Chain A
Amino acid sequence: MACLKGDSRTLETRLYIVFNHGNDEAARRCPQHLMSIFHMLRQVPHIQSADGSRKVIPNELRDNFIKICLAIHNYSFDIFAHRVTKRQDKLSDIRECIQQDQTYFSPQQRSTLVNFLQHVDAIIRDAAGAQARKQLPTVSVQMLLSMYSYWTEHNLLPKDGVADNKATLLDMADGWLVKGT
């Protein structure tokens, strides 16, 4: 909910956000986290695009984007590590299934899927290596960004994030795996 409050010169926007967490460490760190995110966002230069929209991150703003990632990530490493490692025991089985396929996927699709699984394997190793510091180094976030670009460019994930319901190569792989190869 937001409201506008005018005094003599300025307008104030109040945004009320309700978080569903207890009175714990995460709650105590939340204000500082929000401020660091705002701080990052304010540092990103605004570059006018021809049509008013921007889907691709320009090279000159890539460092700013990495800083935003780090600002988010510094408060959520445990969640990230949990998500990454949750399914690692199945990774080699899935890779073996896909590599053995001869008919369902085209050679290009099979190669893309194997690359994807190698990427995931590398992310798992990176997350394990960062457990002690509870923080991914900048170079790892850069690696993640490169992988994400590969995943979207090769239609493994949609370009517009999770909201896009367009079928991807991973949906195709999921369907194939469910059918029992």
Chain B
Amino acid sequence: MAGQRYVIRHLNDITLTGIRIFYLEHGVHFQLRRWAAKIMSLLISANKLFALTQSHRLHNILKGVFEVEVLTPPNTIPYRCEISPETIQEALRAALA
């Protein structure tokens, strides 16, 4: 009995009760805005590229010569980034020391 009470209180505390009820009733597990942005990501990307062509600074660069050269992938990982709470804390301590 005590265990059941604990579970219910836990759900309320993290305010997921409403979401869970909705999931059960409607089965919608996604956000409309996120879906809309993903559908239109093609146009959003094109818009950003188009803005480059109208930039005064970048205009001359775009008129230059472009060459694409494929480099061979490195045999080893060039760098490793670990962002665990411990390493972030350590980095903060080192920065503030």
Contact = CB atoms under 8 A, between A and B. Distances in A.
Contact of B49 (A30, A41, A144): A41
22 contacts: A13-B61, A16-B71, A35-B68, A41-B52, A42-B63, A47-B54, A48-B56, A54-B51, A65-B46, A73-B42, A83-B41, A90-B27, A93-B27, A97-B26, A120-B35, A156-B36, A157-B40, A162-B41, A162-B44, A173-B32, A174-B32, A174-B33
Contacts of B41: 83, 162
Interface in A121-167: 123, 144-145, 147-148, 151, 156-157, 161-162
Interface of B: 18-19, 21-22, 25-28, 30-33, 35-54, 56, 59, 61-63, 66, 68, 70-71, 73
A30 to B, nearest CB: 8
B26 A179 contact: no
A151 B41 CA distance: 13
Nearest to A61: B50
Is chain A's binding surface mostly helix, strand, loop or mixed?
helix
A35 B33 contact: no
A41 B22 CA distance: 46
Contacts of B62: 38, 41-42
A49 to B, nearest CB: 7
B53 A90 contact: no
A92 B35 CA distance: 15
B32 A84 contact: no
Counting chain B CB atoms within 10 Å of each CB, the highest count among A31, A38, A173 belongs to A38
Contacts of A61: 50
Contacts of A144: 40, 42-43
A76 B39 contact: no
Contact of A179 (B18, B47, B59): B18
Nearest to B45: A72
Counting chain B CB atoms within 10 Å of each CB, the highest count among A34, A40, A162 belongs to A162
B94 to A, nearest CB: 25
Given A72-B46, A94-B28, A116 B36 contact: yes
A93 B68 CA distance: 47
Interface in A22-75: 23, 30-31, 34-35, 37-38, 40-42, 44, 46-49, 52, 54, 57, 61, 64-65, 68-69, 72-73
Contacts of A3: none
